[in-house]
């Protein structure tokens, strides 16, 4: 038993998310530690602070971001070829496995410096281990009888966990990586490995879920899709030029696609719950919250607060046009969390979503017979659909 305060509305969140008092993660994250050790996501105090300072430039320096765009284009090309095969028959299919293989290839190449080949079904052992271990950790978080290490280690699920760990760590030891481009002299090989594992965890399933939901929203809102096709036509034209890779300038001009991505992340935030631990007593709405209390932030509900989003369940990308979002509380929209412990990969994630989605839109029309009401959601570590989103992909007419 431990005390929890849960946030379902943005009011008061500022006290928790900004400032430096509540930066440590709750015990729920402890089960990630055998895998991620104390990398950026799970560390705290001075270790977190110095790592964050060392890693941040990798996500802001122009030269590094341009290298990422090359990787994004290359892996997306392969993804589009694989999707094209499905476009030849008009049957609806679940795009998620193909999207997840693509985002895994992208983060591997960006973080580790070599291709893992998930899309080509190479290194299946590592790829399957990453998928399985995420599932196992989630099951453990929800099963108090599996919390004590000695019981977990004896149970079949614990033995599978350890087997996956061995495969994953043997693989990521080979990483020479993202951080190489940075101030590597500050980090030992073990330090680098825990960050690579962290990026593999945080950087592939989150974007895969976001891209899958966005495809579904595009497929089920044909008026939105038409506007997106128009935007692509304006940026890439029609004809020979429309096969060329995306440039950074192209990505910057995808304003409407950015609204669509943001609105999808509002309705379907990839990380539906964030949890911290109060490091000091604080006052919330006149109540004293004691140090040691777990703070659970229900991003999914915060994003559907009618006070900040009239008709909150309606998919309306225009909410993110500059004139409509002006004045909205920054704590009413937190798909990447907020404050100094926010998502370090958010720029990368947005670039990735834009490259993959624009490449799909340039070639195809997406359709679905399902509505958002048909999708049963499961709030695991990542927000997923229990019912598969079935989408058909047809070559674009113009």
Annotated binding-site ranges for heme: 343
User: What is the CB-side half-sphere exposure of residue 248 using CA atoms within 13 A?
Assistant: 12
| Helix, strand, coil abundance in the chain, percent, nearest 5 | 60, 10, 30
Is 335 an interacting residue with respect to ligand HEM (CB under 6 A)? yes
Binding residue (CB under 6 A) for ligand HEM from 73, 86, 279, 337: 337
- Report the DSSP pairing between strands 273-277 and 294-298: antiparallel
Measured from the CB atom, the residue of 221 and 270 that comes closer to ligand HEM is 270
Is 262 an interacting residue with respect to ligand HEM (CB under 6 A)? no
Binding residue (CB under 6 A) for ligand HEM from 271, 278, 383, 393: 271
Is 274 an interacting residue with respect to ligand HEM (CB under 6 A)? yes
- What secondary structure does DSSP assign to 189-224, as a single string? HHHHHHHHHHHHHHTTHHHHHHHHHHHHHHHH-HHH
Is 172 an interacting residue with respect to ligand HEM (CB under 6 A)? no
Q: How far is Cα 194 from Cα 28, in angstroms, rounded to an integer?
A: 18
Q: How far is Cα 339 from Cα 297, in angstroms, rounded to an integer?
A: 14
Binding residue (CB under 6 A) for ligand HEM from 17, 32, 36, 41: 41
Is 68 an interacting residue with respect to ligand HEM (CB under 6 A)? no
Which of these segments, 9-17, 278-286, 288-296, 332-340, binds ligand HEM (CB under 6 A)? 332-340
Q: How far is Cα 8 from Cα 301, in angstroms, rounded to an integer?
A: 5
Is 349 an interacting residue with respect to ligand HEM (CB under 6 A)? yes
Measured from the CB atom, the residue of 69 and 271 that comes closer to ligand HEM is 271
CA 10 to chain centre: 21
Is 52 an interacting residue with respect to ligand HEM (CB under 6 A)? yes
Q: How many CB atoms lie within 10 A of CB 85?
A: 10
Measured from the CB atom, the residue of 24 and 86 that comes closer to ligand HEM is 24
Which of these segments, 12-20, 84-92, 205-213, 281-289, binds ligand HEM (CB under 6 A)? 205-213
CA 348 to chain centre: 10
Q: At its nearest, how many Å lie between ligand HEM and the CB of residue 345?
A: 2
| C-beta of residue 331 within 8 angstroms of C-beta of residue 13 | yes
Question: Residue ranges for the binding site?
Answer: 343
Is 272 an interacting residue with respect to ligand HEM (CB under 6 A)? no
Is 105 an interacting residue with respect to ligand HEM (CB under 6 A)? no
- Report the DSSP pairing between strands 364-367 and 390-395: antiparallel
- Binding marks (x or -) toward ligand HEM, 206..235, rule CB under 6 A? xx--x-------------------------
Is 117 an interacting residue with respect to ligand HEM (CB under 6 A)? no
Is 108 an interacting residue with respect to ligand HEM (CB under 6 A)? no
Is 383 an interacting residue with respect to ligand HEM (CB under 6 A)? no
Q: At its nearest, how many Å lie between ligand HEM and the CB of residue 54?
A: 11
Q: At its nearest, how many Å lie between ligand HEM and the CB of residue 368?
A: 21
Is 40 an interacting residue with respect to ligand HEM (CB under 6 A)? yes
Q: At its nearest, how many Å lie between ligand HEM and the CB of residue 237?
A: 29
Handedness of CA 188, 189, 194, 195 (dihedral sign): positive
Beta carbons within 8 Å of 198's beta carbon, 6+ residues apart: 36, 39, 40, 41, 42
Q: At its nearest, how many Å lie between ligand HEM and the CB of residue 335?
A: 5
Is 303 an interacting residue with respect to ligand HEM (CB under 6 A)? no
Is 102 an interacting residue with respect to ligand HEM (CB under 6 A)? no
The sheet that has 364-367: what strands, in order across it?
93-94, 390-395, 364-367
SS (H, E, C) 285-318: CCEEECCCCEEEEEHHHHCCCCCCCCCCCCCCHH
Contacts to ligand HEM by CB under 6 A = 40-41, 52, 198-199, 202-203, 206-207, 210, 270-271, 274, 335-337, 341, 343-345, 348-349
């Amino acid at each position: 038993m431990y005390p929890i305060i849960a946030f379902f509305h943005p009011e008061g969140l500022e006290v928790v998310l900004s400032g430096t008092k509540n930066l440590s993660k709750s015990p729920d994250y402890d089960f990630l530690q055998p895998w991620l050790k104390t990398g950026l996501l799970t560390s705290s105090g001075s270790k977190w602070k110095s790592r964050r300072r060392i890693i941040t430039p990798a996500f802001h320096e122009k030269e590094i971001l341009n290298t990422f765009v090359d990787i994004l284009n290359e892996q997306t090309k392969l993804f589009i070829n694989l999707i094209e095969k499905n476009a030849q028959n008009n049957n609806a299919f679940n795009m998620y496995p193909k999207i997840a293989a693509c985002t895994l290839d992208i983060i591997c190449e960006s973080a580790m410096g070599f291709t893992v080949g998930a899309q080509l079904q190479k290194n299946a052992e590592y790829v399957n281990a990453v998928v399985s271990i995420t599932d196992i950790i989630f099951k453990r978080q929800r099963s108090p009888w599996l919390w004590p290490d000695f019981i977990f280690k004896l149970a079949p699920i614990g033995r599978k966990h350890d087997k996956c760990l061995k495969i994953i760590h043997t693989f990521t030891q080979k990483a020479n990586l993202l951080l190489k481009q940075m101030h590597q002299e500050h980090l030992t090989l073990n330090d680098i490995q825990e960050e690579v594992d962290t990026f593999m965890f945080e950087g592939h399933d989150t974007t895969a879920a976001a891209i899958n939901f966005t495809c579904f929203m595009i497929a089920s809102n044909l008026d939105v899709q038409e506007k997106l096709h128009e935007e692509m036509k304006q940026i890439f034209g029609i004809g020979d030029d429309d096969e060329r890779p995306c440039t950074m300038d192209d990505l910057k001009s995808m304003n409407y696609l950015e609204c669509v991505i943001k609105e999808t992340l509002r309705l379907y935030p990839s990380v539906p719950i964030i949890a911290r631990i109060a490091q000091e007593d604080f006052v919330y709405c006149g109540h004293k919250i004691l140090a040691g209390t777990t703070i659970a932030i229900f991003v999914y509900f915060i994003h559907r607060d009618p006070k900040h989003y009239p008709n909150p369940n309606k998919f309306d990308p225009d909410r993110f046009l500059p004139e409509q979002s002006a004045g909205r509380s920054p704590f009413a929209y937190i798909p990447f969390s907020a404050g100094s412990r926010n998502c370090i990969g958010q720029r990368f994630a947005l670039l990735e979503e834009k490259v993959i989605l624009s490449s799909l839109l340039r070639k195809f029309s997406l359709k679905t017979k399902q509505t958002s009401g048909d999708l049963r959601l499961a709030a695991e570590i990542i927000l997923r659909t229990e019912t598969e989103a079935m989408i058909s992909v047809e070559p674009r007419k113009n």
